[in-house]
Chain A
């Protein structure tokens, strides 16, 4: 089984699905000849031609709107937002159209669309190349939101997203693209949307996270072993639909929950996870539910000092876990 990077897993999933189903096509800015600014679609243009690897005009709303039309027709478009930060012009298409097409037509139409968007900071991308945007969409029923942390899950979940009959926002953490590598089978497999995964068993504190901070959490958990703190780590993988069962199970393991994400705290998805726990696992709780999130500032600044201050790190996470363990 080859070891591959997170972004290689994206490319492989796209390639396999395009080979499997002629209704799958990708569209976006620079996805064709250039193979994507992050090289996520590299090689696809050569293999599948310009019609199925479509370089679009620089218009995010059109990329999504056109994809919605094609999806309603019966194709399976995979639209790329060059950066999640640039999804904003397409928000009307995503929220007013994609999320509601099935519902507003009483099931007469559907929208099997995937929107891929690289998100997240720590890459010197400054305010407009670093944002986490999931919270804009997590409160919009009709959308599915997938945020994998590892190459294996990237391949399996992206393939599942492409085969899904509902619109899926597939957020890829840029910092993970080349930093995270693992063995990925070359065989066809999918990872079910809506299922979280326990990444580490522990008895002292439960960490619930996704994306880059999931890796930081695992690092923190490793370092805390020496202090005798035994950390349980749950990777949500999918935010919507949310695997509540897994959250409640993970909560019951320790009674102390720390929810971590890079998106800022106020209105962030951790609030939703915390609410689920408070509502449904109150009598499992042994400590206040804690959140460790990006700060409530508009976005991540360019200056390395400010960027570092914004970013979560294994050290910051370890401190938060330790505090909860000692509670």
Chain B
């Protein structure tokens, strides 16, 4: 068996050596510890002795060449021996590969809800619901990169992110029209609360898949009810004058302006004017403080068959009945045709809900989070009322309001609602709009 002679390390920091001279030639017999060559390094010049006895079979590194420590420089064979067995090649053991596969299969989601400080911070800063993200880390952990990816994609595709101050029914609606994007973004889980239901189905039951829009509405309603303690109050308004006024104007209005004149612009106007008197109602809860919003942006609930959208009339306080009528019409059209834009959905500070349009006479609306209150205008109906100690037939309407009791108390809410009521009652057929 041949013995490999390697470049020795001559000195503690030395990493290479130069063969300055071979003292033996191939075929020469060598006794143990007999010098075979001279090596020069930065630190020393030294003779390198043979570590075995035998015959110098081969010189690998010739004189003048510099090689790294550990490099093969020559081979010494036994006397009369031919090249024989080679080193046994290492074969990677199959059991090890198996182990690795097992480990992959054992991957579970024990870390799914272990959030790192960076992940929590990013989620908060970008208002990301971590439950929506699929973790790529060990044990299903959501990594910082996972969140960053959502943020990055969210910037160009805001619909990928659910943020509380973006009224997201529409955003998700949009996304549902572009399912291919979800595939691009595998780290986002199906939707919030996608835990399979454990309810048993009975014969004849029909399973209706929850759409993205429905899911979002569900989530937002849960969030609002969960976070804001709701208080509810109702007042009754005599809108006989308003009804007469509208009846007088509506035909001419439609003809002249091209949009119908509903009661909604009057409701909004009454709300806006009253909000100016009571800015506490135009506010949001921000944990350590209450923020009184300067702008008055009225969210209006618009229903379609399967969905509820809440687009916003921005700076409603700067608008006339005509302007409001046009905005209401425009937004309702857009909602029903699925053309609402992100900017139509953002920034609401108070919500007006026209529940009367479908015949309701009383409702307990859920606040449009994170606003302070929501006001429902119920059906207008003729009722016998006592007026000046006589029975009169009047057009009556209930005003139902839910407030976030963290921000508001009944007293202030009552004052506000009274002012809305007074304003609505002050209309009469001769008012100019």
Contact = CB atoms under 8 A, between A and B. Distances in A.
Interface of A: 7, 37-39, 118, 123-125, 129, 174-175, 177-179, 203-204, 254-256, 282-287, 326-327
B429 interface: no
26 contacts: A7-B13, A7-B42, A38-B12, A39-B43, A118-B13, A123-B9, A123-B12, A123-B13, A124-B9, A129-B12, A177-B13, A178-B15, A178-B16, A178-B42, A179-B15, A203-B145, A254-B144, A255-B116, A255-B143, A284-B117, A284-B118, A285-B118, A286-B118, A286-B145, A327-B141, A327-B143
A4 to B, nearest CB: 12
B221 to A, nearest CB: 32
Contacts of B12: 38, 123-125, 129, 174
A283 B120 CA distance: 8
A123 B118 CA distance: 41
Contact of B43 (A38, A282, A285): A38
B138 interface: yes
Interface residues of B, number: 20
B1 to A, nearest CB: 22
- Top 9 nearest A-B pairs (CB, nearest first) are A286-B144, A177-B13, A283-B121, A123-B12, A255-B144, A286-B118, A255-B118, A179-B15, A286-B116
Contacts of B120: 283
A172 to B, nearest CB: 9
A285 B121 CA distance: 10
Contacts of B141: 327
Interface string B1-44: 00000000100111110000000000000000000000000110
Given A118-B13, A124-B12, A204-B145, A286 B43 contact: no
Given A39-B43, A255-B144, A327-B138, A174 B13 contact: yes
Contacts of A256: 144
Q: Is the interface of B mostly helix, strand, loop or mixed?
A: loop
A286 B143 contact: yes
Which of A124, A175, A283, A285 has the most chain B CB atoms inside 10 A of its CB? A283
B119 interface: yes
A178 B137 contact: no
Interface in B404-432: none
A39 B119 CA distance: 52
B70 to A, nearest CB: 11
Which of A125, A255, A282, A284 has the most chain B CB atoms inside 10 A of its CB? A255
Given A175-B13, A327-B137, A283 B42 contact: no
Interface in B107-145: 116-121, 137-138, 141, 143-145
A196 to B, nearest CB: 21
Contacts of B116: 255, 285-287
Nearest to B16: A178
Contact of B137 (A37, A129, A285, A326): A326
Nearest to B41: A178
Contacts of A287: 116
A326 B140 CA distance: 10
Nearest to B120: A283
B9 A283 contact: no
A38 B138 CA distance: 47
A251 to B, nearest CB: 9
